């Protein structure tokens, strides 16, 4: 039976500064998640050798796997810290659960476990990932939509822009400008919307650019790590097809 939790936490003041790990020990509590463990450390931030240090920095908001802000690498696996129970993610060594916490590597580091996910939101802006309705008017009954399309759109809408898919994607790196799987899925979500499709041509211009769908290597890591089971590979395949049709129409002058 475990009695302690040993957290090995990545520490770095900012990008480009030296990094190291601090190791903390706290009492084990049943059903404790990683965020709760970090909060215990924050109460008395002393390492296992007795050194008093600054409390670790991390991001969190909803604490119910909705906002995506607490995403980090936990024992080498990318996921949300709020839904990561110590019993599930920790390595049991004797009576101690060992957990190593590291920030995402595909986003600029802010400090310790906190990263800047702004580029995901900037990509959504580039794709105009919204429904273009100017003002609030009585437009009457909404256009009927096929139930299969509605259910597929709902699955796409579960994306919380957490960054797991970006972290797992081998095509996302400092050497590429690939917009990533999440943005592709959201582009399709709004292309399938009866009103959102009005901006489809603008989205396809981005998706067919050098930053777009041609950068996808079809590794399919994204769909494996997505905490909301968003059908990313299905969306990528659909956008691949739509991109080909769009480019052909544009070449023929009918896009």
Helices marked H in 108-229: 118-126, 147-157, 164-168, 181-191, 200-207, 221-225
pLDDT at 133: 78
What percentage of the chain reaches a pLDDT higher than 90?
Answer: 85
Handedness of CA 86, 87, 88, 90 (dihedral sign): positive
Question: What pLDDT, on the 0 to 100 scale, is given for residue 137?
Answer: 63
> Which of the pair, 181 or 132, is modelled with greater confidence?
181
Q: What is the structure's pLDDT at 253?
A: 84
pLDDT given for residue 141 in this prediction: 75
pLDDT computed for residue 179 by the predictor: 95
pLDDT at 63: 93
Question: Please, what's the largest Cα pairwise distance for the chain?
Answer: 71
Could you state, in order of their start, the residue ranges of all structural domains in the chain?
4-111, 117-251
Average pLDDT for residues 98-115, to the nearest whole number?
A: 97
Range 4-111: architecture per CATH = Roll (3.10)
Q: What is the mean pLDDT of residues 198-205?
A: 95
- Topology match between the domains 4-111 and 117-251: no
**Residue 128 contacts by C-beta under 8 Å, 6 or more apart in sequence?**
190, 199, 202, 203
**What is the pLDDT averaged over residues 181-189?**
97
pLDDT (average), residues 93-106: 96
pLDDT digits (tens, 9 = 90+) for 113-171: 999 999 999 999 999 999 887 766 666 777 788 899 999 999 999 999 999 999 999 99
CATH no. for 117-251: 1.10.1060.10
pLDDT in the model for residue 139: 67
64: exposed, middle or buried (Cβ count in 10 Å: 0-12, 13-18, 19+): exposed
Q: What is the rounded CA–CA span in Å between residue 2 and residue 42?
A: 21
Handedness of CA 213, 217, 223, 225 (dihedral sign): negative
The pLDDT, as a whole number, for residue 136 is 64
Question: What global pTM score does this model have?
Answer: 0.92
**How many DSSP H helices and E strands does the chain contain?**
9, 8
Task: Share the mean pLDDT of the chain.
Answer: 94
Collect all residues with Cβ–Cβ distance below 8 Å to 9 and sequence separation of at least 6: 21, 22, 23, 24, 38, 41, 56, 101, 112, 113
Decide: residue 27, CB within 10 A, 0-12 exposed, 13-18 middle, 19+ buried. exposed
> Model confidence at 194, in pLDDT bands (50, 70, 90)?
confident
What span, in angstroms and rounded, lies between the C-alpha atoms of 20 and 26?
A: 20
* Three-class secondary structure of residue 97 per DSSP: strand
The stretch 56-85 carries a mean pLDDT of 96
pLDDT at 132: 85
């Amino acid at each position: 039976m475990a009695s302690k939790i040993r957290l090995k936490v990545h520490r770095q003041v900012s990008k480009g500064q030296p990094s190291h790990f601090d190791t903390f020990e706290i009492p084990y509590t049943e059903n404790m998640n990683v965020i709760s463990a970090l909060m215990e450390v924050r109460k008395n931030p002393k390492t296992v050798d007795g050194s008093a240090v600054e409390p670790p920095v991390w991001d969190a908001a909803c604490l119910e796997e909705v906002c995506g802000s607490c995403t980090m690498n936990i024992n080498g696996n990318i996921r949300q810290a709020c839904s990561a129970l110590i019993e599930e993610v920790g390595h049991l060594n004797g009576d101690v659960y060992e957990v190593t916490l590291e920030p995402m590597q595909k986003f600029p580091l802010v400090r310790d476990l906190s990263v800047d996910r702004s580029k995901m939101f900037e990509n959504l802006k580039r794709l105009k990932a919204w429904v273009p309705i100017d003002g609030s008017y009585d437009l009457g009954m909404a256009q009927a939509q096929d139930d299969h399309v509605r259910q597929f759109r709902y699955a796409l809408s579960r994306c919380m822009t957490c960054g797991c898919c970006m972290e797992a994607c081998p095509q996302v790196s400092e050497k590429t400008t690939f917009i990533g799987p999440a943005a592709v899925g959201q582009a399709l979500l709004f292309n399938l919307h009866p009103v959102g499709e009005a901006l489809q041509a603008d989205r396809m211009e981005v998706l067919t650019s050098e930053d777009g769908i041609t950068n996808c290597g079809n590794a399919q890591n994204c769909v494996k790590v997505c905490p909301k089971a968003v059908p990313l590979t299905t969306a990528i395949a659909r956008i691949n097809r739509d991109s080909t049709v769009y480019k052909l129409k544009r070449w023929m002058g009918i896009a």
